[in-house]
Structure 1
Amino acid sequence: MVLLLKKMYQWYFKVFKEYADPRADEYYLMAYSYGIFQMLFISLGYLYLIDYLKKFMHNRPPYNLKSAILLYNGLQVCFNGYITYHAFFESLNLSLYCSPINYSTEPRHLFVLKIAYFYFLTKILDTLDTIFFILRKKDSHVSFLHIYHHFGMINITWIGVKFLGGGHSIFLGLINSFVHTCMYTYYFLSALDDKYKNISFKKTITQIQLIQHTLLILIYGFLLFTDCSYPKFASFFFVPQCCFMVALFGEFYYRTYIKGANREKNN
């Protein structure tokens, strides 16, 4: 038992001291000694909170959260737009063929890491979607896809900041933040006035999500066949993850917009 614990400690030290980006240690939730435990507390706490709130709301009427949702969606548009803007201009300096991570302390590369960290924080903020759904008693929106996506993104983006703060990672942040800018703009408008609610645009958002994950499969899958110093473990992790997301979003799209549409026609 003692030998096993020693081996685990040595592995932990090797991964988080030798392979992790030391520049990330200064950020909250990223410390070498306990950052991973804070991150796990947040991501697992998210799952616990879902269960707790569902029980809390069981015999209660839904809350009217229009003002809070408008503020939340407006902030998300601003935050994701800010990340998209800086990620886009940084991507102009990169190559889709191979863009290694620059771990230097030059101002430009430190700023890239700061944007990556801010991107991680927005993924924690994203979990408010779930809380709003439950408090408004829209539990049908809290699907496995919804929960898995938010839970997964907290963990993936933490790993991104800790090990992959720059280089090819910028493409993930750029594509995903652009998609979220479009998505939260629609959510803001539809929360502002029902006249902006449009089933065809909701369908388009799902199509954009499918395109997003397909692009990421291509971008990170291509790295597996190149001699690039960008860590290949990222591709081995991201490609299957994105394939799974394509399957989940594809199933949702078929069930909601194809099978559902056919059912309405038959009725």
Structure 2
Amino acid sequence: MASTWEKTKEFYNWVLESGDPRTDSWFLVHSPLPVTFLFASYLFVVALGPFYMCHRKPLKLRGLLIAYNLAMMTLSSYMFYEFLVTSVLANYSYLCQPVDYSRSELGMRMARVCWWFFFSKVIELLDTVFFILRKKQEQVTFLHVYHHGTMLFNWWSGVKYVPGGQAFFIGMLNSFVHIFMYGYYALASLGPQMHRYLWWKRYLTIMQLCQFVAIAVHSSYNLFAECPFPDGFNIAVFLYILSLIALFLHFYYWTYTRGKKEKLT
């Protein structure tokens, strides 16, 4: 028992000490415990939130949702710009890009936008809270919770250990897709009169799937080529993206293919 405890402490100390010293002191980065607490709190809200709202009227939150979605759209635009411009100025490769661990201007600029991308995943947990408060429980699917929860840990480890390098491509693509996603949510939050302008939801899902395929190709390439970026991260990203592709394809099938067939019969 003591040996197991000692090994656990050694591993925890290794987790703390083996990260990038440039980002170690940044908010929520040093230890996995705050992020783990956030995740546990998130699951608590997901599990008990519907019971709390069971005998209460759904909250409209119209003004808050408009402001939130526009703010997230703006943040996504900023992150996409930073990922793109910094990678171009630093002459990043789309085939193999190691992490720049220096304290150069561009190295720190890329690390900072990686942190903002991680922190945006913390903010995005509010998506679920708003669904629950509005009693839109059908939106809180396994895919929704899985995606939000895992991205939190994925990007904590990214900022802790590899803030930049190959990871920039994931952040850049995801930020680009989220500009349109939160734009869609902003329009939807304006009310039922906007529904006729939201015909492109299906294409938003297709855009997300294309993003995942691009990330899978990008990550898998370096599993077969020499590149000074940790293979462990590329393998983790590749396997994770495969899970998202499977889940989003299932969602697409039941929402846009099987669902439409059932409506016609």
Question: Under a length normalisation based on structure 1, what TM-score does the superposition of the two structures give?
Answer: 0.95
Q: Deviations over 1:124-160 (max 9, x none)?
A: 1111111111111110000000000100111111011
For 2:65, the equivalent position in structure 1 comes to 69
For 1:239, the equivalent position in structure 2 comes to 238
Specify the code of the residue in structure 2 equivalent to 1:54.
Answer: P
Alignment of 1:84-163 (within 5 A): 84-92=80-88, 93-163=91-161
Contact 1:123/1:153 (8 A) holds in 2: yes
For 1:9, the equivalent position in structure 2 comes to 9
Alignment of 1:189-200 (within 5 A): 189-197=187-195, 198=197, 200=199
CA distance, structure 2, for counterparts of residue 90 and residue 169 of structure 1: 13
Moved over 6 A (4+): none
Shift of the 152–117 alpha-carbon distance from structure 1 to 2, 3 Å rule, reads: same
For 2:33, the equivalent position in structure 1 comes to 37
Specify the code of the residue in structure 2 equivalent to 1:192.
Answer: L
Question: Under a length normalisation based on structure 2, what TM-score does the superposition of the two structures give?
Answer: 0.95
CA distance, structure 2, for counterparts of residue 199 and residue 186 of structure 1: 7
Q: Deviations over 1:139-194 (max 9, x none)?
A: 00000000001001111110110011011110010000100011101111222243
Gaps of 5+ in 2: none
State the SS of the aligned residue for 1:230: coil
CA distance, structure 2, for counterparts of residue 123 and residue 157 of structure 1: 8
State the SS of the aligned residue for 1:24: coil
For 1:204, the equivalent position in structure 2 comes to 203
Specify the code of the residue in structure 1 equivalent to 2:7.
Answer: K
Specify the code of the residue in structure 2 equivalent to 1:81.
Answer: S
State the Cα distance separating 1:14 from its structure 2 match. 2.8
Gaps of 5+ in 1: none
Contact 1:90/1:170 (8 A) holds in 2: no
Percent identity at matched positions?
32
For 2:45, the equivalent position in structure 1 comes to 49
State the SS of the aligned residue for 1:26: coil
RMSD of aligned alpha carbons: 1.3
CA distance, structure 2, for counterparts of residue 120 and residue 193 of structure 1: 30
Specify the code of the residue in structure 2 equivalent to 1:51.
Answer: A
